[in-house]
Structure 1
Amino acid sequence: MTLKYTKDHEWLRQEADATLVTVGITVHAQDALGDVVFVDLPEVGKSFAQGEVAGVVESVKAAADVFMPVSGEIVEVNEALRADPSLANSAPMDAGWFFKVRLADAAQLAALLDQTAYDAFAAES
């Protein structure tokens, strides 16, 4: 499974079905936000273009938009995260995922950051 990152501090993991990706916020993002208290997740079935706001995450410090890292249709949202937003802090790369997307254009994945490039970017921001 391929793991990619955006400069907006979202991660996405390409699943066994290569047309499906899981999206969440990075460890760096949740560290910057502090304790997450609310998430606004997108509607299943809704399509977004790459870069559009697909959700919001609110913490005790701030609110931040969650941007769509690739164009596609929302096929599932993490109801456990909606019920317990602190999962974005305790397990941002696992149980704290936000939504799953059916890719509209798999070529968009190539332009995203790999682990090394993201780590370098996050260290500077």
Structure 2
Amino acid sequence: MSEIRSELQYTKDHEYVRASDEDGVFYVGITDYAQGELGDVVYVELPEVGRTLDAHEVFGTIEAVKAVSELYSPLAGEVVEINGRLDGEPALVNSDPYGDGWMIKLRVTGDRSALLDSSAYASLIGE
């Protein structure tokens, strides 16, 4: 069974959004369910800091033993930080997807109303 945290918001593409200490800035990563489906993560390609993203725009790729998948921005905004630790430690996505395995910090400029709460995400993945 996948870990689904009530304080997070989710997308149908299996990304999560978590508030940071900075107003309007959110951590983005993939869910515990997604990392479990992918298997052992061996490489993560992330965007440049300063890049502006639209909601649902591809911002990078994640490579696992089983597959390579695109990463989608859950919201419109500007990338203000990337998780540089993932260069040398991509397995953080597997071991701590909601903590040290985050991917980007996004200064959100768009509406967050399309995001799913934890119960809606649980229903989406059948849990």
Q: Give the TM-score band, short-chain normalised.
A: over 0.9
Q: Secondary structure at the match of 2:126?
A: helix
Unaligned runs of 5+ in 2: 1-6
Give the counterpart of 2:43 among 13, 38, 45. Answer: 38
Offset of residue 17 of structure 1: 2.6
Give me the whole-angstrom Cα distance separating, in 2, the residues matched to 1:83 and 1:99: 16
Q: Which residue of 2 aligns with 1:83?
A: 88
Query: Within the alignment, does 1:113 sit opposite 2:116 as a pair?
Result: yes
Q: Which residue of 1 aligns with 2:77?
A: 72
Q: Secondary structure at the match of 1:31?
A: helix
Offset of residue 97 of structure 1: 0.2
Q: Secondary structure at the match of 1:117?
A: helix
Partner deviation per Cα, 1:80-118 (whole Å, 9 max, x = no partner): 11211000000011100000000112xx21210001100
Give me the TM-score of the superposition, normalised by structure 1: 0.93
Give me the whole-angstrom Cα distance separating, in 2, the residues matched to 1:46 and 1:7: 23
Q: Which residue of 2 aligns with 1:21?
A: 26
Query: Within the alignment, does 1:7 sit opposite 2:21 as a pair?
Result: no
Q: Is the 8 A contact 1:45 1:75 kept in 2?
A: yes
Q: Secondary structure at the match of 1:81?
A: helix
Give the counterpart of 1:99 among 104, 108, 117. Answer: 104
Give me the whole-angstrom Cα distance separating, in 2, the residues matched to 1:90 and 1:79: 16
Note the aligned Cα RMSD (angstroms): 1.1
Give me the whole-angstrom Cα distance separating, in 2, the residues matched to 1:16 and 1:88: 21
Partner deviation per Cα, 1:25-70 (whole Å, 9 max, x = no partner): 0001000000000000110001010010001000000001110000
Q: Which runs of structure 1 show a deviation greater than 2 angstroms over 4 or more consecutive aligned residues?
A: 15-18
Give the counterpart of 1:59 among 64, 83, 90. Answer: 64
Give me the whole-angstrom Cα distance separating, in 1, the residues matched to 2:21 and 2:64: 32
